[in-house]
Amino acid sequence: MAIYREPSPNRVFVPIAVVVGLALILLVAFFILRNNNSTPTPPDDHQINSAALDKITASLDLFQTEYAKVNTGVAASQTGAPGAINTAITTLNATASLSKLNKIVYADLQTNLGTINTAARAVPAPDVKKLVASALQKIETLRTANSSAAVTATTH
């Protein structure tokens, strides 16, 4: 004869708790994965312009450092001056949104960088420092216009 035992209340409750726990874990995982798949916002013109102006400024600073070596007799092609000015020109030309800030200053800066580029390949040119200073001043004008445009965009 078999002995019948009543199931204990704890044995019935354990599988239900496991199922509820797994359901909660799956629900939390679902929400985490769903919220992590959001696409990042692309940079706006202000951020692109700021990065470009920073890169052009850094390139001009490097140019000044490297071009100073030319005055000591080192050939310009053996310094980083031509590469630095080429980086500045390439960055300026690649960032079309800069021209929207101030077309006249943008065009002047393009001309200025071209003149510096020509001078950088020549025997030490005395006006290079003035050209670089002028270019840096134009960059600051564009930087100010970029900041003003960003403020205007955030207030509207």
Residue 6 or 52, more confident = 52
Query: pLDDT at position 8, please?
Result: 66
**pLDDT at 16 > cutoff 60:** yes
The answer to whether 113 touches 128, Cβ cutoff 8 Å, is: no
**pLDDT at 6 > cutoff 90:** no
Q: What global pTM score does this model have?
A: 0.69
Q: What are the pLDDT digits (tens) for 57-116?
A: 999 999 999 888 887 888 878 888 889 999 999 999 999 888 888 999 999 999 999 998
How high does pLDDT run on average in the chain?
Answer: 84
Architecture (CATH level 2) of domain 45-155: Up-down Bundle (1.20)
Longest CA span, the chain: 115
Which residues does 32 contact at the CB level (< 8 Å), separation at least 6? none
Percentage with pLDDT > 70 across the chain: 82
Query: pLDDT at position 120, please?
Result: 77
Percentage with pLDDT > 90 across the chain: 35
Closest by CA to 60, choosing from 103, 97, 112, is: 112
Section 42-47 average pLDDT: 83
**pLDDT at 156 > cutoff 60:** no
Phi-psi region of 73 (alpha: psi -120 to 50; beta: other; left: phi over 0): left
The answer to whether 76 touches 82, Cβ cutoff 8 Å, is: yes
Torsion angle in degrees (nearest 10) through CA of 144, 101, 141, 143: 40
The answer to whether 48 touches 97, Cβ cutoff 8 Å, is: yes
